[in-house]
């Protein structure tokens, strides 16, 4: 008999990152099971990119710890092969063609899915001979996303992956991503400002504001707790209501903190 063991994809303990004395991420403790599709939401400057860069090993923590698939982020080729990452600015090699990028992907990644990559580029109507520097911002994002999925990682980390895509391309990409992750039980963590796009797609939510995690957990549990607190007379909340409620509470808390720290400034307003 085999026993299903739920492994942890991302584990952080009091994780923190500071830039020139200011905390961009503070006291972040998370335990995200493998196989989840995690939406990371929060306002500009909240700390989303900082958390994702700590998870990929592009940044080192200033406090606490982080483990990715049981290992240190970005440590060695084995660990790198297990994690796919598309940064916010979807970097590509501007002087290389799309075909060059796919060849490079094949050479660098042990589980490279060549048919998938070629099919997706063809479906997008992109000429493989085109240099990345001659693609539009959205097309470059599509190339970077194709490479990240074709790598067939165990964990896919995407920083605002749909920001550069038009609404139809956004929907198609998220549908395709949902299929790809369901097929292989890939864990995905993606940040987005477009909460409506995450509805029905993410099954785990992290809300972060002003460098702190305000809510983290399975979407159905967070929604159930929110609806129970709102009472039977309130309409059931959707993901957007949930995020706005957490952000609203956090904003009130931050304002109270500021008032306590600088009482004269607040009363002069
Ligand atoms: N290299 C850096 N040097 C100094 N401060 C930085 C640096 N990178 C980020 N910060 C600061 O850290 C905080 C968190 O930034 P981060 O990029 O993680 O936010 P974010 O939630 O991803 O924002 P956005 O939604 O605008 O992309 C911000 O206050 C930002 O100004």
From 31, 36, 54, select the one nearest 211 (Cα to Cα). 54
Q: Is 125 left (phi over 0), alpha (psi -120 to 50) or beta?
A: left
Classify residue 98: in a domain, yes or no: yes
**Looking at the domain assignment, is residue 144 inside a domain?**
yes
Q: Is residue 15 part of a domain?
A: yes
**182 belongs to a structural domain:** yes
Ligand 1 atom nearest the C-alpha of 53 is 18
Within a domain: residue 83?
yes
pLDDT given for residue 266 in this prediction: 54
Mean pLDDT of 213-220: 95
Is residue 1 domain-resident?
no
Domain count, the chain: 1
Q: Whose CA is nearest to atom 1 of ligand 1?
A: 19
For atom 5 of ligand 1, the residue with the nearest CA is: 19
Is 3 a member of any domain? no
- Host domain of residue 178: 8-268
Lowest mean per-residue pLDDT among 21-30, 48-57, 69-78, 211-220: 69-78
Per-residue pLDDT tens digits for 84-98: 999 988 889 999 999
Is the confidence at residue 264, as pLDDT, over 70? Answer: no
Q: Residue with the nearest Cα to atom 29 of ligand 1?
A: 45
Choosing from 23, 25, 46, 157 the residue with most ligand 1 atoms within 8 A of its CB, the one to mutate for a pocket test is 46
Mean pLDDT of all residues in 128-135: 95
* Nearest atom, ligand 1, residue 20 CA: 4
Q: What is the Cα–Cα distance from 165 to 20, expressed in whole angstroms?
A: 34
Ligand 1, from 50, 159, 193: best to mutate by most atoms within 8 Å of Cβ?
A: 50
Closest CA to 154 of 114, 185, 119: 185
* CATH code: domain of residue 111: 3.40.50.300
- Strands of 22-33's sheet, edge to edge? 22-33, 8-19, 63-68
Nearest residue to 214 via CA among 66, 12, 28: 28
164 belongs to a structural domain: yes
Nearest to 214 by CA among 222, 23, 169: 222
R_g of the chain computed on alpha carbons:
20
201 CA to middle of ligand 1, Å? 26
Ligand 1 pocket residues where CB is under 6 Å: 19-20, 24, 42, 44-50
């Amino acid at each position: 008999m085999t026993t299903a063991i739920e492994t942890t994809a991302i584990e952080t303990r009091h994780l923190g990152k500071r830039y020139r004395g200011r905390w961009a991420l503070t006291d972040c403790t998370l335990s995200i099971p493998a196989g989840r599709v995690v939406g990371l939401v929060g306002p500009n400057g909240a700390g989303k990119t900082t958390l994702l860069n700590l998870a990929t090993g592009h940044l080192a923590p200033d406090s606490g710890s982080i483990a990715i698939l049981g290992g240190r982020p970005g440590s060695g080729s084995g660990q790198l092969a297990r994690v796919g990452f598309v940064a916010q600015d979807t970097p590509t090699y501007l002087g290389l063609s799309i075909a060059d990028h796919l060849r490079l992907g094949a050479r660098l990644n042990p589980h490279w899915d060549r048919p998938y990559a070629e099919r997706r580029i063809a479906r997008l109507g992109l000429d493989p001979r085109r240099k990345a520097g001659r693609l539009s911002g959205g097309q470059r994002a599509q190339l970077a996303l194709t490479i990240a999925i074709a790598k067939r990682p165990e964990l896919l980390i995407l920083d605002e992956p749909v920001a550069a895509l038009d609404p139809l391309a956004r929907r198609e990409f998220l549908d395709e991503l949902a299929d790809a992750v369901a097929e292989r039980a890939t864990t995905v963590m993606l940040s987005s400002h477009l909460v409506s796009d995450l509805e029905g797609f993410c099954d785990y939510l992290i809300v972060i504001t002003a460098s702190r995690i305000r809510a983290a957990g399975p979407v159905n549990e967070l929604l159930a707790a929110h609806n129970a607190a709102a009472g039977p007379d309130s309409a059931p909340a959707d993901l957007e209501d949930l995020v706005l409620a957490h952000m609203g509470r956090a904003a009130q808390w931050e304002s109270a903190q500021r008032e306590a720290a600088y009482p004269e400034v607040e009363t002069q307003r």
